[in-house]
Amino acid sequence: MRSRPAGTPSRAPTPPLPWADGVRALAMLVVLVWHTLLTVAPDEPTAPWAWVITPFGGVAHAAVLTFIVLSGYLLGRHWRPGELRTESLHYLLRRGWRLLPPYWVVVTLTVVAMLVLGLRNPGGTHWDVGLPMTWGNTALNYLLLTDLAGTTPYNHPLWTVPVEFHLYFLAPLLVLVRRRAAALVVGAVLTLAVAFAAPGFVAPFFALAFAAAFWTGHHRQSLSAADTRRALRVVLPGAVVGLLVAVAVVVAGDLSQGGVRFLVLDAVATPLLIGWLLVSDLSGGAGRTHALLSSGPLRWTGARSYSTYLVHALVIEILWRFAVEPIGLAGDAAPFGVLLVLAAPLSLVAGKLLHQWVELPSARRSAAVGTRSDRLPAPSKDPA
């Protein structure tokens, strides 16, 4: 009898999760509000801004963590059967088509706006963290090397794209090792290496979060029914390893106060997110929460969340410099309210256009990798 190739699931392909888009939508909207707030809030906030910025910053960070965990879980959940080397190549090509064309388009739009609209000059907002504009920094932005170089992209929320893209390379290794303990060791070692080598990086835990989520999603292919205790047994070892890694970094590392806060948040939130995803998946998404997440408006927004995420900071900064700041509204609350009212719908419109013209065609190319059909198939209903 021939043994099953590494990476081959033990059951039929799993059905899509209609509520996943709702999760993406809420996470993206939280990040949009956060970056609107950062644009208006003072650099050194005092009360009442300090009471808002610190906790909401944690919520926004958790929203980005949600993107990473959901992506890892879905990629593991839908890992295609086949010979590991061939499938790994197809997987990386699919992820490249899925992620990179919209990213490169927005990097180009950002560069054009910096040159034509003057966004290369400091404006006194959070946008300035991505400056100065140089030939070297431009190359790092296009090559997705800003995370490795320790610099902030011109369009500051785009720091997550190189991070996520580089995490994708863990997936074939996680399929190869198969065992949960080995997957957790891979994620823990990478997290520790990043935390100690680059203490200024705000998300070293994302490596362990992605590894744990991917392994759980891949393991889900062998599960068929909801069982809270079984889900707990799946998630608990990762939670213990995550907490031990966080303690080691806090005790022996050199993180800032904010870095420690985000690390602890990631260590606590990751197993909760993975456990919720697994139980929700196995139970078929029954309940009011899942019904809300599967509603039309949230699914529409979630399907376009990646494109909207890419463009929203550029939209916010242009609106601030040319529409809101010139008005000279008193205080901070009024400018924030006006900017948010303008930025939210315009970001969604810009995201829709980017999704329609760039992301959707590239998603079709992604879905076609590894197929022999002459026609491009429809994108996956669970694009990670």
pLDDT at residue 306 greater than cutoff 80? yes
Q: CA angle, corner 154, sides to 314 and 313, nearest 5?
A: 20
pLDDT at residue 378 greater than cutoff 90? no
pLDDT at residue 153 greater than cutoff 70? yes
Residues 323, 328: Cα–Cα separation, whole Å: 10
pLDDT in tens, 103-132: 999 999 999 999 999 999 999 999 999 999
pLDDT at 8: 46
Q: Which of 98-102, 332-336, 341-345 has the lowest mean pLDDT?
A: 332-336
pLDDT in tens, 168-210: 999 999 999 989 999 999 999 999 999 999 999 999 999 999 9
pLDDT at 192: 97
Amino acid at 51: W
Residues 212, 235: Cα–Cα separation, whole Å: 8
pLDDT at residue 212 greater than cutoff 70? yes
pLDDT at 262: 96
Mean pLDDT of 89-97: 96
Beta carbons within 8 Å of 379's beta carbon, 6+ residues apart: 360, 363, 364, 366, 367
Q: Please choose, from the candidates 219, 243, 289, 272, the residue with its C-alpha nearest in 3D space to the C-alpha of residue 10.
A: 219
Residues 31, 343: Cα–Cα separation, whole Å: 12
pTM of the model: 0.93
Residues 124, 37: Cα–Cα separation, whole Å: 14
Residues 65, 180: Cα–Cα separation, whole Å: 21
Residues 240, 246: Cα–Cα separation, whole Å: 10
pLDDT in tens, 327-340: 999 888 899 999 99
Q: 257 pLDDT band (50/70/90 cuts)?
A: confident
Residues 20, 13: Cα–Cα separation, whole Å: 17
Mean pLDDT of 155-178: 96
Comparing 91 with 81, the larger pLDDT belongs to 91
Of all residues in the chain, what percent carry a pLDDT higher than 90?
77
pLDDT at 3: 36
Q: What is the mean pLDDT of the chain?
A: 91
Of all residues in the chain, what percent carry a pLDDT higher than 70?
91
- The b/e string for 331-345 (b: 16+ C-beta within 10 A; e otherwise) is eeeebbebbbebbbe
pLDDT at residue 382 greater than cutoff 70? no
